[in-house]
Chain A
Amino acid sequence: MIGSLPPRYRISVDPVRCMECGRCIENCAYGVFSRDGDRIFVNSRNCTACHRCIACCPRDAISLEEHPCDYRSHPLWTREAREAIYNQARTGKIILAGMGNALDYPAIFDRLVLDACQVTNPSLDPLREPIEVTTHLGKKPASLDLRRREGGDVELRTRLTPNLRIETPIMIGHMSYGAISLNAHLSMARAAKETGTFMGTGEGGLHAALHPYQDQMIVQVASGRFGVNIDYLERGAAIEIKIGQGAKPGIGGHLPGEKVCADISRTRMIPEGSDAISPAPHHDIYSIEDLAQLVRGLKEATEWKKPVFVKIAAVHNVAAIAAGIARSPADAVVIDGFRGGTGAAPMVFRDHVGIPIEAAVASVDKKLRDQGIRNELSVIASGGIRGSADLAKAIALGADAVYIGTAALVAMGCRVCGNCYRGLCPWGIATQRPDLVARLNPDEASNQVANLIRAWTLELSELLGAAGINSIESLRGNRDRLRGYMLDEGLMQVLDVRGVGA
């Protein structure tokens, strides 16, 4: 016998404060609360710490405690290690988990510090002087053929590949319709439009409700090819081939049949109620040449008008893979670090496979420069970007731009409870249940996401100004403006940064 495990959270309702309005009962999707005569009865075992009840309670009557009853502490046999064993001993199955890597690896971003000007050069004030954060993603020529005509006019003879112009180097990453709700998609698409940036569709196709925002959308082609047809490709501003994902490198995805409602079935172009399975590899990509062929195929299909990105998980030889991608007609590589979020991934992958985004970006940027092909490929960093400092550091390590995922969800209310895979998200984000979806108001949520992007962009401008830089391209790959704090020599070498004080 294993018996029941200690509850993860304990919810208590202060009877003095509670006014028995019942909002917690209505709002909790997991059935924690029920009415028991004239008081609120609580079943803490169902709680996921989504905080919906706390956010809704008008009297601040609810308190939540994590691990109210813990195991005997042990540095190796942690609670998680023990519970995984109980769980698997019972089921004999793979453990699924949501959101990003939950192991206690040090965050490299938090051990890098940025630079600012003092005396020898003036810092710039973004309120008085222009600071440019506009970014262009796509292939750029290594040199230009610029001729001067008789009259002195300059003539450009080099043909440029179309680039994606973003007003700020922050884009919203790919989270599919299916994994998240239509209202969540709509909110983010509007935010992207308002802030002059782009958003990924994920591999779930493009719902008709998003067609008005198609110029802001990067359409994804993943191994399941869900929702992909020429109409879809043509609607997007750019196309992204998804090879892998930071939260689960090397494996595919699975949207359970019960989530495939009529709308999703139409958008993904699969029968209603059928499981949507994305295989681990693309079954037409077994080598880098095959990838180059698919890139070319997509470019051909869209008359070479659209940038094509390739998204890979940050794995050990990410730099060599990126160099291979640079030799295809692809315009950008998206590198998804091991802290990247997900709706559901096997816990063993989420927590143990892949490398941190900081090291991946630094080594990709270096490899491309060493081979003289940095202009061939833009580098987009994703996976665990939590704020403008992470953004600035990612760019200084060599990224052109970043994708945010979890941060955008959090801006809409997500509490990172990690239960997305259950489809009951009380915030109306990771769910398809109409009553829950209706909780997310796109007018409000789009504003919140847009505010977040604006706030980070402002902070980025301030950081640039303080560093005496008035254009984002002068921060890109500028490792001289970073210092490592409590990082070991080996890692500093990979990141190509010096230690503090050096």
Chain B
Amino acid sequence: MEGNFLPIVFILSGITPIRAFPDCLEAEGGGSTVMTMCGIIGVMDKSRRTMDGSGIRQALSMMNERGSGEGAGYAAYGIYPDYRDCYALHVFFDDVHENKPLLDSALAQWGTIEHDEAIPTCDRPGLRAVHTPWRYFFKPDPSLAAPEDEIVSALVMQVNAARRGALIFSSGKDLGVFKAGGWPEDVADFYRIEDYEGYIWLAHNRYPTNTPGWWGGAHPFNLLDWSVVHNGEITSYGTNRRYIESFGYTCTMFTDTEVIAYLIDLMVRRHGLDIDLAVRALAPPFWEEIGRMPAAEREWNSALRLAYASAMMNGPFAIVAANRDMMIGFTDRGKLRPMVVGECDDRLYISSEEAAIRAMEPRVESIRMPAAGEPVIGRVIA
């Protein structure tokens, strides 16, 4: 097995010094405890060559054992090249006629709607459409003093907290989230995701224990550029939510995963941390390990734990997250949820199940299981 390795490159955390590679690299193998709850998968093409949604649809359906037919979703990067400079806002309306005029006027206050339309859908027998999905291509008003990202994130928080029958569930540029209650194939076919071409895809098959049925509770969760899929249950949610809300975020989705998207946004966009450091704050080394580090490393690792103590995530989890330039995967410090990494040519795969990766890429050359808490970070080149 060792010998089959291609020159794969990951970011290693743990006690070895952090090195940034343009690619991805693997950490040592580690066992995993079987606790099925959700199936997740992510794929990234590091040369930004796009793939349509049929492959990820196929992969996700391999994990139906991990779902209950009550929610699934996809996130795709690079799908709106014609509106590359606009924020693509994906919205669930409870009632288009009633709720849309309100949102239109709110958006008009904050900027310009370049274009908007219903997200094309196709009725599926197994899927009851409880919301109408809509998309806006939106530009914040440049005369507003705040940075664009700040305006859009404030807008998302306000609209979602107001609960007026409109929920913005995706707000990045040149990307979109497609999610609903139902089995993965039905959700994929409902949105016709094979019609989209993306270079990063995340997908999630849900076994809801918290907020069944509600479309907003399905994954992926997105804020601006970052999207997250998550398998697990965050036992520190009460601490994390109160922490993130003290920075002006509002948790509105009734599920623990949204907090991860906001924590990454806080640390990376607002506090300027590199993603590997942000991940390290979310799943930090144990104090005992920190104690064994050389002085300088010990100092910044301690600082990270102290400053971000309330951001640290506890409980079993495997997370795959992406922005336009990278895809990352990491587990909790005890690795109580499975995570498998595969590579094939320019493509990096991270998933709960090897079978899902093989469904998408039968030729996959290496399959690895990173150790607990070790992040896998793959970056696009160019």
Q: With an 8 A cutoff between CB atoms, is A156 at the interface?
A: yes
Residue contact A469 to B314, C-beta cutoff 8 Å = yes
Q: With an 8 A cutoff between CB atoms, is B286 at the interface?
A: yes
State how many residues of chain A have any CB contact under 8 Å with chain B. Answer: 45
Residue contact B316 to A122, C-beta cutoff 8 Å = yes
Of the residues B237, B247, B287, B306, contact of A480 by C-beta under 8 Å: B237
Q: With an 8 A cutoff between CB atoms, is A134 at the interface?
A: yes
Which of B65-73, B296-304, B341-349 touches A?
B296-304
Residue contact B303 to A152, C-beta cutoff 8 Å = no
Q: With an 8 A cutoff between CB atoms, is B274 at the interface?
A: yes
Residue contact B33 to A468, C-beta cutoff 8 Å = no
Which residues of B are in contact with A by a Cβ distance under 8 Å?
Answer: 17-20, 33, 35, 37, 209, 232-233, 235-239, 241-243, 245-247, 270-274, 277, 286-288, 296-297, 299-300, 302-304, 306-307, 309-310, 312-316, 333-334, 336
Question: What mask results when residues 450 to 482 of chain A are scored 1 for a CB within 8 Å of chain B, else 0?
Answer: 000000000000000001111101111111110
5 contacts between A and B (CB under 8 A): A121-B235, A153-B17, A369-B242, A474-B313, A477-B239
Residue contact A141 to B238, C-beta cutoff 8 Å = no
Chain A residues with CB under 8 A of B33: 122
| Closest-CB distance, B356 to chain A (whole angstroms) | 22
- Alpha-carbon separation in the docked complex, A155 to B18 (Å): 12
Question: What mask results when residues 186 to 215 of chain A are scored 1 for a CB within 8 Å of chain B, else 0?
Answer: 000000000000000000000000000000
Q: Chain B interface mostly helix, strand, loop or mixed?
A: loop
Question: What mask results when residues 126 to 158 of chain A are scored 1 for a CB within 8 Å of chain B, else 0?
Answer: 000110101010001111111010001111101
- Alpha-carbon separation in the docked complex, A477 to B243 (Å): 9
Q: Chain A interface mostly helix, strand, loop or mixed?
A: loop
| Closest-CB distance, A205 to chain B (whole angstroms) | 32
- Alpha-carbon separation in the docked complex, A163 to B307 (Å): 12
Residue contact B314 to A122, C-beta cutoff 8 Å = no
Residue contact B239 to A158, C-beta cutoff 8 Å = no
Known: A122-B35, A153-B18, A156-B300. 15 other contacts (CB 8 A): A132-B287, A143-B307, A146-B303, A152-B20, A154-B277, A154-B297, A369-B242, A374-B310, A468-B233, A468-B314, A470-B334, A477-B310, A478-B237, A478-B239, A480-B237
Q: With A160-B303, A469-B315, A474-B314 given, is the CB distance from A121 to B309 under 8 Å?
A: no
- Alpha-carbon separation in the docked complex, A122 to B316 (Å): 7
| Closest-CB distance, B154 to chain A (whole angstroms) | 16
- Nearest chain-A residue to B19 (Cβ)? A152
Residue contact A478 to B307, C-beta cutoff 8 Å = no
Q: With A124-B334, A370-B246, A372-B247 given, is the CB distance from A156 to B238 under 8 Å?
A: no
| Closest-CB distance, B238 to chain A (whole angstroms) | 3
- Nearest chain-A residue to B238 (Cβ)? A480
- Nearest chain-A residue to B287 (Cβ)? A134
Chain B residues with CB under 8 A of A477: 238-239, 242-243, 310
Residue contact A468 to B242, C-beta cutoff 8 Å = no
Q: With A467-B235, A474-B235, A481-B238 given, is the CB distance from A155 to B300 under 8 Å?
A: yes
Q: With A134-B287, A163-B306 given, is the CB distance from A121 to B316 under 8 Å?
A: yes
Chain A residues with CB under 8 A of B313: 474
- Nearest chain-A residue to B11 (Cβ)? A152
Of the residues A117, A140, A144, A475, contact of B239 by C-beta under 8 Å: A475
Chain A residues with CB under 8 A of B242: 369, 477, 479
Chain A residues with CB under 8 A of B20: 148, 152
Q: With an 8 A cutoff between CB atoms, is A375 at the interface?
A: yes
| Closest-CB distance, B71 to chain A (whole angstroms) | 15
| Closest-CB distance, A365 to chain B (whole angstroms) | 8
| Closest-CB distance, A300 to chain B (whole angstroms) | 24
Q: With A124-B334, A146-B304 given, is the CB distance from A140 to B309 under 8 Å?
A: yes
Residue contact B306 to A140, C-beta cutoff 8 Å = yes
- Nearest chain-B residue to A467 (Cβ)? B235
Q: With A152-B17, A152-B19, A154-B18 given, is the CB distance from A473 to B246 under 8 Å?
A: no
Chain B residues with CB under 8 A of A467: 235
Q: With A154-B297, A471-B312, A474-B235 given, is the CB distance from A121 to B35 under 8 Å?
A: yes
CB under 8 Å from chain B, chain A span 227-275: none
- Alpha-carbon separation in the docked complex, A467 to B299 (Å): 30
- Alpha-carbon separation in the docked complex, A435 to B243 (Å): 54
- Alpha-carbon separation in the docked complex, A499 to B25 (Å): 47
- Alpha-carbon separation in the docked complex, A146 to B308 (Å): 13
Chain A residues with CB under 8 A of B238: 477-481
Q: With A121-B35, A370-B246, A478-B239 given, is the CB distance from A140 to B307 under 8 Å?
A: yes
Of the residues B246, B287, B306, contact of A374 by C-beta under 8 Å: B246
Q: With A120-B37, A152-B20, A158-B303 given, is the CB distance from A144 to B316 under 8 Å?
A: no
Of the residues B18, B247, B287, B296, contact of A152 by C-beta under 8 Å: B18
| Closest-CB distance, B35 to chain A (whole angstroms) | 6
Chain A residues with CB under 8 A of B272: 143, 145
Chain A residues with CB under 8 A of B237: 478, 480
- Nearest chain-B residue to A135 (Cβ)? B309
Of the residues B37, B303, B307, B334, contact of A142 by C-beta under 8 Å: B307
Residue contact A141 to B232, C-beta cutoff 8 Å = no
- Nearest chain-A residue to B278 (Cβ)? A146
- Alpha-carbon separation in the docked complex, A473 to B284 (Å): 12
Of the residues B37, B246, B288, B315, contact of A372 by C-beta under 8 Å: B246
Q: With A117-B235, A471-B312 given, is the CB distance from A146 to B287 under 8 Å?
A: no
| Closest-CB distance, B178 to chain A (whole angstroms) | 26
- Nearest chain-B residue to A478 (Cβ)? B238
- Alpha-carbon separation in the docked complex, A130 to B20 (Å): 29
